[in-house]
Amino acid sequence: MSPARMSQIREDAMASLELDRINTIVVTGGAGFVGSHIVDDLLLHCPHARVRVLDSFTYAANIDNLDAALRTGRVTLHEGDVGNLDLATEVVEGADLVVHAAGESHVERSFSVPERFTVANALGTQALIEAAARRRVPLTVHIGTAEVYGAGAGADAPLGEDAPFGPDNPHAASKAAAEMLIFGLRRVFDLDIRVLRPVNVFGPRQNAEKLLPRFLEFSAIGRPLTVHGDGTQRRAFVAVSDLCAALRAVVTRGAANAAYNVAGPDLHEVLAVARMVIDAVPQTATAVGFAAGRPYHTSRPPLDTRALEALGWRAERSLGADLPALAAWYGARVPPGQRRQLREVPTLAPRRLHAVNQPAGSGLFRSLETH
């Protein structure tokens, strides 16, 4: 038998999982926005599974996100960094499925502290792969990002999963590096690691640093919505519930070591999103302001999602339809009695960071503990 045929048989043996037969799931970053929704969704659709959450509880995590999950009695919480190989190895022991949702995700922040993104997204992923290899985890799903494609070389046609990577910011570069590590290590360790590449994810629980929750909370208190550049940059969105459905489709019907784009059907200009938010928030007195754009703040191309749709997945939600309910959720987080005071709080200037060049051997990362 040829080596190619033996390799194909081995890949075919890496079977997808049946949700009702999964006993143990690990979700890294499970106290964050996307991770906590994944935990809730898997608890609902995997009736016999127990879920271990591994989270380092950075600023973007919130224990309240796991309130309902913890009350099921089927979730255990492990506080620590996925980059800690010994800890990660301990947590994935006996897992049927690992979902890797941990990492830094804010593009704007990545320009200030790029080393944090390299450590969390690239090196953290490498440690998790090694832990999965040590414990022979049958299936790992990595939550990547469509940011790895960059501007898609100006392409207007939808990009498929085989499109070349063109990251144009530190966040995208760190996520592309994570995927390169996956490509380089999964065959070495004979692992099945599947990748999801979603566009901008929206839903409740998202940190207020991101575009939609920031717009929604500012609009709720009547503060202006700041649009970078001229606002014509196009963005695609996908509901977090649709991302969770995509995860289940890939777990149950996906191909071994395959990547899948995840996107809703529509592209929106950022300025149009701001106007949609204003329309969705009742009795708002919000205006739109403009600020200088960040480097490479360009449009993103549409994605080809036919590979995921072939598994039976379809995007069920849309940004326009969900905005009123989302506006109500984020608006409820702002106490009515404090809206006037919050409206008058001055906007904080971004912290200015100064890089210090250090001689070789004196430390790999600069001032990491201070950020």
Three-class DSSP labels, 202-255: ECCCCCCCCHHHHHHHHHHCCCCEEEECCCCCEEEEEEHHHHHHHHHHHHHHCC
Phi, psi of 5 (to 5 degrees): -65, -40
> Domain tally for the chain?
1
Answer whether residue 43 shows pLDDT above 80.
Answer: yes
Instruction: Give the Cβ contact number of residue 7 at 10 Å.
Output: 11
In-domain check, residue 191: yes
In-domain check, residue 123: yes
Higher pLDDT, 152 or 155: 152
What distance in Å separates the CA atoms of residue 10 and residue 3, rounded to the nearest whole number?
A: 10
What distance in Å separates the CA atoms of residue 329 and residue 33, rounded to the nearest whole number?
A: 14
Q: Distance of CA 68 to CAs 37, 44, 65, 100, Å?
A: 11, 11, 8, 21
The percent of residues above 70 in pLDDT, for the chain, comes to 84
In-domain check, residue 215: no
Phi, psi of 228 (to 5 degrees): -85, 140
What distance in Å separates the CA atoms of residue 128 and residue 332, rounded to the nearest whole number?
A: 37
Average pLDDT over residues 191-200: 98
The secondary element (H helix, E strand) that includes residue 26 is strand 24-28
Question: Which pLDDT belongs to residue 8?
Answer: 44
Average pLDDT over residues 3-29: 72
In-domain check, residue 11: no
Beta-ladder partners of 193 = 140
What distance in Å separates the CA atoms of residue 143 and residue 101, rounded to the nearest whole number?
A: 5
Beta-ladder partners of 98 = 26, 140
The percent of residues above 90 in pLDDT, for the chain, comes to 67
What is the residue type of 131?
A
* Per-range mean pLDDT, top range of 120-134, 214-228, 342-356: 120-134
Provide the sign of the torsion angle of the four alpha carbons 128, 130, 131, 132, taken in this order.
Answer: positive
In-domain check, residue 271: no
In-domain check, residue 127: yes
Average pLDDT over residues 296-318: 91
Which residues span the domain enclosing 241? 18-206+237-264+301-316
CATH code of residue 160 = 3.40.50.720
In-domain check, residue 361: no
Give buried/exposed letters for 261-285 (b at 16+ CB in 10 A, else e).
Answer: bbbbeebbbbbbbbebbbebbeebe
Average pLDDT over residues 327-351: 63
Euclidean distance between the first and the last CA atom of the chain, given in angstroms as a whole number: 55
Answer whether residue 1 shows pLDDT above 50.
Answer: no
Answer whether residue 337 shows pLDDT above 60.
Answer: no
Higher pLDDT, 366 or 241: 241
Q: How many helices (H) and strands (E) does the chain have?
A: 14, 12
Name residues whose C-beta falls within 8 Å of residue 23's C-beta, 6 or more positions apart in sequence: 48, 49, 50, 96
pLDDT tens digits, residue range 47-68? 999 999 999 999 889 999 999 9
In-domain check, residue 182: yes
Answer whether residue 182 shows pLDDT above 70.
Answer: yes
What distance in Å separates the CA atoms of residue 266 and residue 172, rounded to the nearest whole number?
A: 22
The first and second tokens of residue 266, run together, are 């529509």
